[in-house]
Structures are given as structure tokens and as C-alpha cells.
Structure 1
């Protein structure tokens, strides 16, 4: 969140999925920028049906996904 009225705020969100068995982990991340400058904290991005999206009043700066395979047995 910006501490100056003339700067925009940013918000990020990261989520990972771990299907059973935990052989593969998929991580999704998003970075959103407030549409307008100010000191109000932007709304948290949405995650629905495996998709990340910036909330109203923000726009997507970057979206990333990574998949990690693991052969570790628990």
C-alpha cells in the first residue's frame, strides 16, 4: 500500500495446488496495480476455478504459474 497520495499501490497473491498424491505442485501468482494513486489498500485478487484475476479497481501487471514435480514419499 502506498504511503503517498501521488503513488499507486500494489497487491499480490500466491496460491498452490497439491493434488493427491503429492507428486506435482502447481503454484499460481499474480501482481495487480491500483487503477488510481492513493493510500487506500487495493482489494485482494480473486481465485476461482483455478484462475487468478485482479479485483475491481486494479489491473494485472504480471501472472505466473510454475509446476514442480516431486518424487518424495511421505
Structure 2
């Protein structure tokens, strides 16, 4: 895996309370910007879906820690 800085996410988050709709918007942006490969372990589309799931989980975990 290669870490990716998501362009434009700061604009989505700026001055917004973090709720489900914001988390979903960031996860969707991550899915759009991800450029995974397809191989025998998973398709590119499946890996894009996983990137959105991981972003969502990371936000929820961060919220729990605050």
C-alpha cells in the first residue's frame, strides 16, 4: 500500500462539524482518487471500496478517541 494525500479533502472538512455526511463525503473522495491495481487478490473496484471503508473506520475511531 502507498499512502495517499487526498486533494480537496481539506475543503470538505473546513469549518464543518464532523458527522456521518462529512465522513461519507471524504470516503467518497478517497474512493475517487484511489488508483489501486487489480490482481488475483482483488479487483481495482473492490480495493477502491475498501479504501472508503478504511477511511470511514479511521474517522469513527478518531471520533471515539476524542
Same fold (TM over 0.5): no
TM range (shorter): under 0.3
Instruction: Choose 1 or 2 for highest CA Rg.
Output: 1
Higher percent of residues as helix = 2
Greater relative contact order (Cα < 8 A, sep 6+):
1
Using the size of structure 2 for normalisation, the TM-score is 0.26
Using the size of structure 1 for normalisation, the TM-score is 0.25
